[in-house]
Amino acid sequence: MKTEPPKAKAKSRGREVAIPGIAVSPGVAIGQVFDTSDPPAEAPRRRIAAEAIEAERAKLAAAIAFSRKQISKLKTRIGVLPEEAQEEISPLLDAHLMMLGNSRLIRGARKRIETELLGAETAVGDEAEGIIAAIQAIKEDDKAGLARRAAEVRDIARRLVRNLTATPFRSLKDLPEGCILVAEELTPADAALLDPARIAGVATEEGGADGHTAIMLRALGIPAVLGAHGLTEAAQRGDAAVLDGAAGRVVLHPTAATLAEAKDRLAAFARERTKLGKLRRLPAETTDGEQVELQANLEIPQELPLIAQAGAQGIGLLRTEFLFMNREDLPDEDAQVEAYTQVVDAMEGLPVTIRVLDWGGEKDMEALAEGVVPVHAGGNPALGLRGLRMLLKRPELLEVQFAAVLRVASAGADGNVRLLLPMVTVPEEVRQAREIYERVARRLRRRGERLPEKLPPLGVMIETPGAALAADAIALEADFFAIGTNDLAMYTLAVDRAEAEVSHLYDPLHPAVLRLVQFATEAALRLRMPVSICGEMAGNPLLTPLLLGLGVRTFSMNASSIPRVKQAVRALDIGGCARFARRVMEQSDPARIRELVAGFAEGVTERA
């Protein structure tokens, strides 16, 4: 398809223009552009006299109260959305309501009014910018999580400033049926107002694949492309457009050939969605009858509806860091019991693996800032006091988590809860953790808790070359392994994916990484110990044959990846996977390995 860049728009109005963006929500939309934007808030920087402090504080208080009223009203409106979308947006709106309470944003804005003599809207803007800059400065792997936290602060600050300046919000009530909505940016609250039955697609200049807006659009099933730079400049209301949410592309003024191709893809997508939807209730079983367990990773409880929708067979990695973020005090045992119980109950008897706190030195957790962890994470936090190392240094944190999980297990979890230790490198660390675990169990029993006779299994993350190479010894101390391929690749190749200069060297198909995965897997299998794979490798259907061939039978991944991995599993036989894995492991060239993986996957696709 011949296309032109968006800057050529002025000279080529009416000619086909393709604008790339980020693929966010799959599906094809064909319709007319309906552009919309929020009127900009007029909020010039403003200073006040000391006598005006109380008036500005009162003005801020009124804006907070009005913002809370708006969000509460929005909560009553979302009842018409699909259930999974309701369950996605409702906790987010609750979080916004909490941020309008005694949060760092509100406290900081009040302080700036009093000490810097700033107008309320200037104080809110400055405080929000400071918080966002601090979040963006954090060095950690979870860039998506950081971006979401920054976006939440930005959204609530914008709402406050608009209310402080009496600037109206855009209306999304009367969108033309079948239109493609084009905007510079869309907030999750905006997305909650969209009617999936009336709108064909969404495209914006800003946003990414992991933000709340993207999650909302996926939950609503609206084809969407975000981060399409140049789109709002190139598009005009009423322009014909084709949006491909899987390819991440918007085509303006499509030719007849492009339209015909889009209609074919629209029909094919409908067929594919029907096919993947039918997989939800089918077993993840190879053609020769081998059962494979496909579980989901869970970062925040809001993901539970997506996990259920994907047909996950449990949670293979429940990250507990969310309990320690955006709060100033440590979550106590009862608070943790409540949080874990919510997840375990939602999974209705399916297994849940809870990883204890994986503070990485570079992660910003206010709750840990007051004397719990070092003020300075050191010159290289990835190699410093993190994961289990930190917890053994501050065992009171580990004891509270162990106690909470044991109480959940004693309350009828019926053997479906497991505990996972992060960043283990030597067997002695596991021994120390187990001593604490058993001590906590004895204390709970003395307290009258009816714990199961056999305590929940205590497993180990294999995520460093040292742990993988010492897997034989560590296996003697652990009850199961979870191989974390993201960190394992990073530590093995000495590459930080977030560093642009070296990110091209990050390659999970590097022979060194694969051999470590193989070594750790075989160490577990020799002892008949459960072993699972988590990280991006687990969710990539291209790698499913290789991992099955190496002996892995349990995968934990993002919920959205489960249907396609299941589709791959159901097209494979274990004998063929084993032969393929042997062939791959004989290679020493990553490029050759990628060729073999792509070639094998092509055959699987034809069979699926």
Q: What angle do CA 331, 296, 352 make, to 5 degrees?
A: 55
The DSSP element (H or E) to which 419 belongs, if any, is strand 417-421
Token representation of residue 443? 């204390």
Long-range contacts for 222-226 (Cβ within 8 Å, ≥24 apart)?
222/25, 222/27, 222/194, 222/196, 223/25, 223/26, 223/27, 223/28, 223/29, 224/24, 224/25, 225/21, 225/22, 225/23, 225/24, 225/201, 225/249, 225/250, 226/21, 226/22, 226/24, 226/202
Of the residues 96, 179, 212, 510, only one is catalytic, namely 212
In sequence order, which residues have a C-beta less than 8 Å from that of residue 501 and are 6 or more positions away? none
**CA-to-CA distance for 119 and 52, rounded, in angstroms?**
9
In the DSSP assignment, the letter for residue 118 is B
Using CA atoms, how far residue 43 sits from 60, 121, 492, in Å, is 14, 7, 50
End-to-end, the C-alpha distance of the chain in Å comes to 28
**CA-to-CA distance for 201 and 231, rounded, in angstroms?**
14
| Residue 96 bears catalytic tag | no
**CA-to-CA distance for 279 and 313, rounded, in angstroms?**
13
Pairing state between β 554-557 and 531-534: parallel
In sequence order, which residues have a C-beta less than 8 Å from that of residue 291 and are 6 or more positions away? 283, 284, 285, 553
Q: Please answer whether residues 223 and 245 qualify as being in contact, where contact means their C-beta atoms are separated by less than 8 angstroms.
A: yes
Of the residues 96, 179, 510, 534, only one is catalytic, namely 534
Greatest alpha-carbon span in the chain:
81
Using CA atoms, how far residue 607 sits from 319, 538, 603, in Å, is 36, 21, 6
Phi and psi, residue 347, nearest 5°: -85, -5
Q: With 0-12 CB in 10 A as exposed, 13-18 as middle and 19+ as buried, what is 471?
A: buried
**CA-to-CA distance for 166 and 470, rounded, in angstroms?**
63
Q: Closest by alpha carbon to 543, among 502, 572, 586? A: 572
Q: Give me Rg for the CA atoms of the chain.
A: 26
**CA-to-CA distance for 317 and 296, rounded, in angstroms?**
7
Neighbouring C-alpha atoms within 13 Å toward the C-beta of 604: 28
Q: What angle do CA 120, 125, 129 make, to 5 degrees?
A: 150
**CA-to-CA distance for 370 and 450, rounded, in angstroms?**
34
Residue 26 CB neighbours (<10 A): 18
| Residue 534 bears catalytic tag | yes
In sequence order, which residues have a C-beta less than 8 Å from that of residue 286 and are 6 or more positions away? 292, 548, 569, 570, 572, 573, 574, 577
**CA-to-CA distance for 236 and 33, rounded, in angstroms?**
7
Token representation of residue 46? 């403003």
The conformational region for residue 15 under phi > 0 = left, psi -120 to 50 = alpha, else beta, is beta
Residue positions annotated with a catalytic role: 212, 534
